[in-house]
Amino acid sequence: MKKIFDAMPLTSYLKEYAAQGTLRAHMPGHKGRSLPELSPPQDAYAWDITEISGADSLFEADGILLAAERRTAAVYGSPACCWSAGGSTLCIQAMLARMRMQNRTVIAARTVHRAFLNACILLGLEVHWVFPRSGGVISGEYAPEDFAQALHAVRGAGKSACVYVTSPDYLGSQHDIAELARLCHAQDAPLLVDNAHGAHLPFLPENRHPMALGADYCCDSAHKMLPALTGAAILHCRSEQEARELKCSMQMFGSTSPSYLIMQSLESCTAYLEQCGREAVSLCAERAGVLRRKLAGKYRFIGTEPLHLTIAADGHDLAAQLRQCGVECEYEDAGFLVLLLSPVMTEEEFAALFRALERCTPSAPVPAPELPPPMQQAYSMRTAALSGWETVKLSQAEGRICGPVQVPCPPAVPIAVSGERLTKPWLTLMEHYGLGEIAVMVQA
């Protein structure tokens, strides 16, 4: 058997990683364990089926899948939802398709995941960007009045609008969703929230879920912060009629074979949340708070979302030290390290994480340069991303037009977006994040 596995690099990697017993401070939120009594039997293949009689069909559900989706919506307290086996990526495509059909201009906070950008490119949507007042590429502080101003500008030009924000972002910073919803609704604009990192938010002592705070559409990657298989996500909306319309868009982008194993994990996750969601998520947040307080003299924790344990330090150095202690992190760069916590983590795992952090010595972060003035949008994002492109070194890219965005994942947050004319300060910023080259349009 060993010999066969040797010729299967992915399989041997997974086998070894599982055997190591690493403390997984990264996605998925199940942390490598199934939910007792709620998960498939040992041989998961037995539950991997297709749309046979009685099994319903996700994009036109009217049987067991519709009932299961309604149960998820009820647990979240949202009027309706659609399940996704294609992650939040598919949910983002669907909600933006709806905005395209309504002919709305998208006003977006610049801190977006590349899934947003690619959906805009595929749908031919142009974006009115709002940049953060402070902070950097991955996370920033936004002023609600900047969105109000953008709404006035778009509405003043006789167009209808919508606002799109990512909250929490990769470092765990959150927008003031209630305030944004108020601003949007005063201008007849829906608020769309990429809540990929916040599927657990309704279950904190104070419900911080975007739908509870007034958002109109919101996607949650259940797999990131909760016990669900990778790919399991939820798209919340304001009515069942809307959910049916969103599904029409989902099936334009998604596979015709959404995985029943992923969907079953979403049902398990829903049952888990029903049984003990509030208790488990609140306890996790409380343990995280204790850990932060006990280590406050040694580490500088940032971000407002309790289950994102984000440290301002040289993330590469700290990640290497933690690895030596058997802890694998979610994200590292020269300025930050992110550890993702989950309600399924045990008291022993929290104790082990505490001991590991106590043993490590953080070194000073290398601060990212401030965000330079915005670049000129020389071509539409769609034209630039779907034209011929070539890869050039950053040192040769000044003045060229950004082509398809190829940012590494995590965090997959674009620095320049397709169609922008590249300037030196933005190229310097890319160097800070370790990029060496960039795809640019050939004809420009």
Q: Which is nearer to ligand PLP, 174 or 187 (CB)?
A: 174
Q: What is the CA radius of gyration of the chain?
A: 22
Pick the stretch among 137-145, 192-200, 247-255, 301-309 that binds ligand PLP (CB under 6 A): 192-200
Q: Which is nearer to ligand PLP, 85 or 243 (CB)?
A: 85
118: alpha, beta or left? (left if phi > 0; alpha if psi -120 to 50): alpha
Strands 23-25 and 327-329: parallel
Least Å from the CB of residue 233 to ligand PLP: 5
* Total Cβ atoms within 10 A of residue 53: 5
- Does 221 bind ligand PLP (CB under 6 A)? Our answer is yes
Residue labelled with tokens 């965000």: 371
Number of residues that bind ligand PLP (CB under 6 A): 13
Quote the CA–CA distance of 422 and 392 in Å, as a whole number: 12
Q: CB under 8 Å to 101, separation ≥6 — which residues?
A: 249
172-191 positions binding ligand PLP, by CB under 6 A: none
Q: Which is nearer to ligand PLP, 80 or 407 (CB)?
A: 407
Pick the stretch among 129-137, 193-201, 262-270, 283-291 that binds ligand PLP (CB under 6 A): 193-201
Q: What DSSP assignment string belongs to 230-295?
A: TT-EEEEES-HHHHHHHHHHHHHHS-SS--HHHHHHHHHHHHHHHHHHHHHHHHHHHHHHHHHHHT
Q: Which is nearer to ligand PLP, 105 or 118 (CB)?
A: 118
Query: Which residue of 106, 115, 204, 353 would you call a contact of ligand PLP, by CB under 6 A?
Result: 115
- Does 61 bind ligand PLP (CB under 6 A)? Our answer is no
Q: What DSSP assignment string belongs to 18-42?
A: HHHT-EEESSSTTTT-PPTTTS--S
- Does 118 bind ligand PLP (CB under 6 A)? Our answer is no
Question: Contact 363/387 with Cβ under 8 angstroms?
Answer: no
Least Å from the CB of residue 223 to ligand PLP: 6
- Does 233 bind ligand PLP (CB under 6 A)? Our answer is yes
The CA-based diameter of the chain, rounded to the nearest angstrom, is 68
Site string for ligand PLP, 357-396 (x = CB under 6 A): ----------------------------------------
Question: Contact 349/342 with Cβ under 8 angstroms?
Answer: no
Structure tokens at 30: 């199940």
* Total Cβ atoms within 10 A of residue 206: 8
Q: Which is nearer to ligand PLP, 39 or 167 (CB)?
A: 167
- Does 196 bind ligand PLP (CB under 6 A)? Our answer is yes
Q: What are the two backbone dihedrals, phi and then psi, of residue 440, each rounded to the nearest 5 degrees?
A: -125, 155
- Does 215 bind ligand PLP (CB under 6 A)? Our answer is no
Q: Which is nearer to ligand PLP, 287 or 308 (CB)?
A: 308
Pick the stretch among 87-95, 179-187, 322-330, 351-359 that binds ligand PLP (CB under 6 A): 87-95
Least Å from the CB of residue 370 to ligand PLP: 22
Pick the stretch among 85-93, 156-164, 180-188, 261-269 that binds ligand PLP (CB under 6 A): 85-93
The closest alpha carbon to 230, from 256, 196, 207, belongs to: 196
Query: Which residue of 39, 72, 88, 342 would you call a contact of ligand PLP, by CB under 6 A?
Result: 88
Q: Which residue is nearest to ligand PLP (CB)?
A: 87
Site string for ligand PLP, 400-429 (x = CB under 6 A): ------------x-----------------
Q: Dihedral of CA 289/291/296/302: which sign?
A: negative
Least Å from the CB of residue 338 to ligand PLP: 11
- Does 310 bind ligand PLP (CB under 6 A)? Our answer is no
Q: What are the two backbone dihedrals, phi and then psi, of residue 340, each rounded to the nearest 5 degrees?
A: -100, 125
Interface with ligand PLP (CB under 6 A):
87-89, 113, 115, 166, 170, 194, 196-197, 221, 233, 412
